[in-house]
Structure 1
């Protein structure tokens, strides 16, 4: 076994183990619960903040429009942590073979028990929206995982009230969850009481200061982002789904950064972060899938001679328009193809650096935090993510850079395939 085969085996083993970790799998599925809700909120937010509306609507009409559509984002995007805690409780309990609906409810209440309230005047004590969104994301995930673990532990220990078979199933399940719920929620209530005697005053501020702020600062930097992009490309080169593996680790950080930008966008203030979930999806995957291969497909169709390459490109083009590029990844192929390895890895890294510095310099606005589905075609996604045509222009610049890096390698691959095709034609004749 040579060095290449040993390295390939280690990479594949590591990727498979990481992808199969229960906690990461639960976390990934939990974020997907909020996806359709966030898309709805994003659509309404985009409509309310289209750049040209102030030119066609009166100030009063524009204000009314924003007031009418405002609840859509407030009840979806601004309380994402609630959906995540529900998802973690549900999917963790399901993985453990325990009734998941009670796991979801207990996880949510455990998070709310740790959440401080504010004085709402005549309304009494009220929950603060930011605690249910970006600021509460990490404490929400920690509380949800811990409470779900405790709930499933107590159930598996049979610390439950068993009802006769004649009792309706819904009632029986409620009584079965009673003792585990009381024990779990009592624990979180005690934790909250203990924190009132600390300098932080509540668990939210403790986690935000000690864990969330350092992690988001790390994840918002270009260095960590480049490492993530590089890792995605390497994993895909060995046939492993790089997005699922890397994103399962980075998504909590990127989503938190997105929510911070969304809050700033809604408040009309400057976006605090360049790196967000939308940055990653719009200015990397959003250019034709992993590796930004849409321009590669177009280059093959326009400039290459090989029948095999052109056939692959024709088959891959429709999917590539919506950023699905498995036909290219396995058809060209890119997986385990040493000729393609260099542009496959270098082009996304270079294009990501261009996008980052374009936003850091102010040439292109940072992403607004509005959710843009990763299947949104290029140019459209750039505009929606930044609320500016500059986002679309940036994607064009990135595609030009990717083409420049790929082109000599494509020419070499095309020449090799074309010569083989000519030889086959001659031998048949």
Structure 2
């Protein structure tokens, strides 16, 4: 099949159904709604670093001063609430896109998210007791009573008092479900609330007040019936799960959906598919980063949050359940220096390019590449539909994804720590933030990998461009 035939087939048969899916109301709400969580993820990452400075002496001093607990509080109230931001943002955007007052829908989504979970936590004594227990610690983190000592003292109390002290603490919100573990539930709830809310509004299920009533008051009455129906239905779902299965919706979704989906996204196959598809879409002129980001963010962001929680607890390792493929794996490796990891082309233009076209585009791309932007190459060189550079464009992110997965899997570098470096953070600097000095070194190596893969293909393409330019120059000279 010739190049033109392949392009036509992809554009006519492959891309339309994919774009139709990506542009559905649900996926659009997911993509745009998740944006509202980004400031809290990035700001929370700063607090995460401050509460876990990777210099033992400094970390101990911060912990002893009590400031570690303060930074932890800030981290919990920002990054630790990403499921809350997702539930509100997705419900808000869905209804906004349908042309209705969106804030009541976003708040309804939040209310449903809380209503569908047990408002209780396990008693801290359970985790503190026994040989494997954490014991009791002071504000500085020092153990003042071992787990065995706690158990021995509890055993001296009457059984009724023991049962009371070890019972779950009710009337509280379990922050575990407000972070990464509640993300898939938050996405589902946000989408369903947005859909149900707009469906009822379109059907006329609303209270209409006289025109004389102020708009801000009238809007709340307009939202009352859809919100009331959604909350009443959610209450019945909560009651059904509680009385029949002794569980809640968030636990059910986490066990049946989130755990297997996160496992799939965290596999080597998942990493390679994501890396390939970003380049695939871009090659045909469609924003691959945007499409794959919309599809994968609901799974990769929870992976990031899980790693952040482990890092904060000092237990970041694959043995303790850390993920290899996270949102930072996607942003800061698969898309490093831009989709296709095109830093190798930049290096080529600086040291070996002969054609005016390559040199000119290289100068334009140099600064954007530092901040992981490569549209000048994608459309100016171009990389889109360019058979000369197709192989390195597809191959480089796949090789980087494979090798990065391997160095983490075999323990050469630690898992990504959950810190969310903005995608525009320059290479090596972002590596240090998301995984320490070893990850920074590995990121530098990936830049060399890109250069090694792109160089021979770029050299051949540059020669073609140079020959064309020379031919044009000779033609103009002959005409003169």
Contact 2:63/2:69 (<8 A) preserved: no
Contact 2:62/2:68 (<8 A) preserved: no
Larger of the two Rg values belongs to structure: 2
Task: Measure the CA separation in 1 of the matches of 2:468 and 2:269.
Answer: 42
Task: Measure the CA separation in 2 of the matches of 1:233 and 1:83.
Answer: 30
> Residue 283 of structure 1 aligns to a residue in which SS?
helix
Map of 1:273 onto structure 2: 323
- TM-score, normalised to structure 2's length? 0.85
The unaligned stretches of length 5 or more in structure 2 are: 124-164
Matches within 5 A, 1:27-426: 27-52=30-55, 54-56=56-58, 59=61, 63-118=65-120, 124-271=170-317, 272-285=322-335, 287-386=336-435, 388-426=436-474
Task: Measure the CA separation in 1 of the matches of 2:377 and 2:62.
Answer: 51
Q: Could you tell which deviates more after superposition, 187-196 or 274-283? A: 274-283
Task: Measure the CA separation in 1 of the matches of 2:316 and 2:351.
Answer: 42
- Cα offsets for 1:348-395 (capped at 9, x unmatched): 101111111111111111111111100000000001011x11111111
> Residue 197 of structure 1 aligns to a residue in which SS?
helix
Task: Measure the CA separation in 1 of the matches of 2:197 and 2:175.
Answer: 27
Task: Measure the CA separation in 1 of the matches of 2:411 and 2:236.
Answer: 48
Contact 1:15/1:240 (<8 A) preserved: no
Q: 1:5 to 1:379 in 2, by over 3 A?
A: closer
Task: Measure the CA separation in 1 of the matches of 2:184 and 2:285.
Answer: 32
Task: Measure the CA separation in 2 of the matches of 1:259 and 1:277.
Answer: 9
Task: Measure the CA separation in 1 of the matches of 2:453 and 2:60.
Answer: 48
Task: Measure the CA separation in 2 of the matches of 1:182 and 1:60.
Answer: 48
> Residue 34 of structure 1 aligns to a residue in which SS?
helix
Contact 2:51/2:312 (<8 A) preserved: no
Contact 2:303/2:326 (<8 A) preserved: yes
Task: Measure the CA separation in 2 of the matches of 1:420 and 1:266.
Answer: 57
Task: Measure the CA separation in 2 of the matches of 1:56 and 1:262.
Answer: 19
- TM-score, normalised to structure 1's length? 0.95
How far did residue 5 of structure 1 move? 3.8
Taking only aligned residues, the RMSD between alpha carbons, in angstroms, comes to 1.9
How far did residue 124 of structure 1 move? 4.9
> Residue 274 of structure 2 aligns to a residue in which SS?
helix
Task: Measure the CA separation in 2 of the matches of 1:128 and 1:170.
Answer: 33
Task: Measure the CA separation in 2 of the matches of 1:384 and 1:193.
Answer: 44
- Cα offsets for 1:118-170 (capped at 9, x unmatched): 15789851111111111111112212222222222222222222211111111
> Residue 369 of structure 1 aligns to a residue in which SS?
coil
Q: 1:16 to 1:61 in 2, by over 3 A?
A: closer
> Residue 385 of structure 2 aligns to a residue in which SS?
coil
- Cα offsets for 1:323-372 (capped at 9, x unmatched): 01000111111000011111100111011111111111111111111111
Map of 2:144 onto structure 1: none
- Cα offsets for 1:388-418 (capped at 9, x unmatched): 1111111121111121111110110111111
Task: Measure the CA separation in 2 of the matches of 1:276 and 1:266.
Answer: 16
Contact 1:90/1:100 (<8 A) preserved: yes
How far did residue 428 of structure 1 move? 2.9
Contact 1:15/1:235 (<8 A) preserved: no
Task: Measure the CA separation in 1 of the matches of 2:170 and 2:443.
Answer: 49
How far did residue 12 of structure 1 move? 3.4
Task: Measure the CA separation in 1 of the matches of 2:269 and 2:255.
Answer: 22
Q: How many residues align?
A: 426
Q: Which of 10, 33, 37 pairs up with 1:8?
A: 10
